[in-house]
Amino acid sequence: MAFDFLVPVNDKILAHCELLPAQALGNKIHKHSERKGLPVLANASFALIGVNESRNAFEKKPKSLNISDIRLQLYKLMIGNWNSTIVDLGDIEEGETVEDTYFVVRQVVAELLEEDVIPIVIGATQDITYPTYRAFDGLRNMVNLVSVDSRFDFGQEDELISSHSYISKIITDQPNNLFNFSNLGYQSYFCAQEEKDLMDRLFFDGYRLGEISSDISLAEPVLRDAHIVSIDLRSVKASEVSFSENFSPNGFDGKEICSIARYAGISDKVKVFGVYEGENSPQCYQLIAQIIWYFIEGHNYRVVESPFIKSENFTKFIVPTDADDLIFHKSSMTNRWWVEVPTILTSHNKSELAALLPCTEKDYYDACNQIIPERWYKAYKKGFN
């Protein structure tokens, strides 16, 4: 069993929980300990996992990420008005090879997915996203991945997998289960024009940092359709995280990255949430803890809804355009919007129903002005699932 490879939570961290207030998360989380063993997964909503693997880091890490100190900051936070059960499964340490570590991550995440438990992964490097993606093999036909990152992480053609090239591995590796990839927060001076062209050719979605920062709510429809959300902390400005040379003066601030995490939690499709590329600094530990807190907080407000299930909760709008009639649906419960994409009968979509693409109210008004939403166009071209 893959869980046999999990290392219990450090005894010092467990002892510190005894000093925390009763309302602190540390006293509510069921923890993997040397004395009690693994917690029971029954009825659990989330499982925390640390992954101490950094050998494929693009910028070599002089020290291992101190996941215990991240736990300490998370445990100190007060629990929200949640009905969720949280377990902490401990850490996955480096295997004999990186591939051994990937195998354990993949197996652990796959077992949690089968139990309908959301893994929250704290990883030293973002290439750990790759085995979490492979965990869906056999569980889902197609997967949507959202990366919050200042780069696209395609890498060079001859480059082995690293934290700067794992997306290329996901795109080319078989079986290919990736349906859509979206990037939130890329910074143009870090991205080659060839990478931007590749995003367009594959009909993937990329959103510049300035675009999302000017209206953080633009991230919500993108995250609403994600199965995996992977946050690279290098998308956050250095002053918010660490003044290490690996971080940029520009990026999301703490409030923005926590808003993105909350949107990810609200999405009823997100099955895996990961935070990667942290630095060993007290400020970074606190930020990671708060990002995770907001993801769990968002989950508490999840609403599963669809105009195809309960149409009485939706208002339907038909917008004639030069390209096609666009059919929008607005929820009266959450005020969220969707737009239909005509079904393209491929291996990705064999239903006779139109596909639903999450969108914004602005997309509806743009369509009324004969401006076709770019995401709709890309989904139409690709055959949105």
In single-letter form, the type of residue at position 346 comes to T
Give the model's confidence band at 347: pLDDT under 50 very low, under 70 low, under 90 confident, else very high.
Answer: very low
* Domain boundaries of the chain, sorted by first residue: 2-299, 311-382
- Compute the distance between CA of residue 238 and CA of residue 247 in angstroms, rounded to an integer: 5
* Model confidence at 350: pLDDT above 50: no
pLDDT tens-place string over residues 83-111: 999 999 999 999 999 999 999 999 999 99
Relative to beta strand 46-51, strand 86-92 is parallel
Give the model's confidence band at 385: pLDDT under 50 very low, under 70 low, under 90 confident, else very high.
Answer: very low
pLDDT, greater one: 61 or 206: 206
- Compute the distance between CA of residue 108 and CA of residue 251 in angstroms, rounded to an integer: 32
What average pLDDT does the segment 307-315 reach?
Answer: 88
- Compute the distance between CA of residue 246 and CA of residue 16 in angstroms, rounded to an integer: 31
* Model confidence at 349: pLDDT above 50: no
What average pLDDT does the segment 324-338 reach?
Answer: 94
The pLDDT of residue 157 is 57
What average pLDDT does the segment 24-32 reach?
Answer: 96
The span from the first CA to the last CA of the chain, in angstroms, equals 33
In single-letter form, the type of residue at position 288 comes to I
Residues 6+ apart with CB under 8 A from 317: 327, 328, 329, 330, 364
Q: Is the peptide bond before 175 cis (omega within 30 degrees of 0)?
A: yes
* Fold classified for 2-299: Arginase; Chain A (3.40.800)
Number of Cβ within a 10 Å radius of residue 78: 11
pLDDT tens-place string over residues 117-138: 999 999 999 999 999 999 999 8
Cα within 13 Å of Cα(180), Cβ side: 27
pLDDT tens-place string over residues 6-26: 999 999 999 999 999 999 999
Please give the structure tokens belonging to residue 119. Answer: 């893994």
What average pLDDT does the segment 297-306 reach?
Answer: 94
The pLDDT of residue 162 is 64
* Model confidence at 242: pLDDT above 90: no
- Backbone φ and ψ for 341, nearest 5 degrees, come out as -120, 125
Extended beta strands in 69-129, E state:
86-92, 118-123
pTM: 0.94
pLDDT tens-place string over residues 42-60: 999 999 999 999 888 877 7
